[in-house]
Amino acid sequence: MPTGVAMRDAREQLFDAAERVLLRDGPEALTSRAVTTEAGVAKGVLHKHFTDFDGFLAELVLDRIRRLDDQAAVLRDSVGHGTVVDNLTAMLTDLFGSVAVAIVSLTISRDGLRARLRAAVPTGVPILTDAGRILLEYLTAEQGLGRIPAGADLHSLGLTLIGSTHLLFADRTGTRPTVAEVRSFVASVVPA
């Protein structure tokens, strides 16, 4: 006799639940009990699919990093179209309007998680490092088209865009910056 209802992909169900808890309550509230309660599953389901909670969190972060590929594709497709400032504004607003800020806070707050992520992301802050790589590829392509001056320091520009935009969005409980505010900042640092 069946003991329960068939689950859709358990890993994805747990990841989605963890993201909801993280966005709603912050990294300090993210526990295995909170995740399984949010997902509506027994606590054993998490441990059936992951060795421990830090292993689960590492897989969650890596999954969310992989989702940056969609944003990278949109940014790549925008090379040579629209304005550089508008393209960067859209990417940065999408990135930091998502779970990225919460993932950064989570990663910073858990030593065991950071240690596990070092194998996949050996330097920098996971998700921000990956977003920086995406921005650098875009900036390089735009520079190749002459839409960014040849002498512009793209590495510094990318770090400035990622770091400063992260600071604009960092207070998860405060008022989010508007697209116009992000655009104003981007326009102030992107060389014409």
Query: Which CATH number does 53-189 carry?
Result: 1.10.357
Model pTM score = 0.82
Residue-by-residue DSSP string for 121-153: --SS-TTHHHHHHHHHHHHHHHHHTTSS-TT--
- Tens-digit pLDDT profile for residues 158-184: 999 999 999 998 876 778 899 999 999
> Distance between CA atoms of 2 and 101, rounded to whole angstroms?
41
- Tens-digit pLDDT profile for residues 48-64: 889 899 899 999 999 88
Considering only CA atoms, which of 104, 93, 116 is closest in space to residue 178? 93
Q: Which residues of the chain are in CATH 1.10.357 domains?
A: 53-189
Q: Which residues of the chain are in CATH 1.10.10.60 domains?
A: 1-49
| 1-49 belongs to CATH 1.10.3720.10 | no
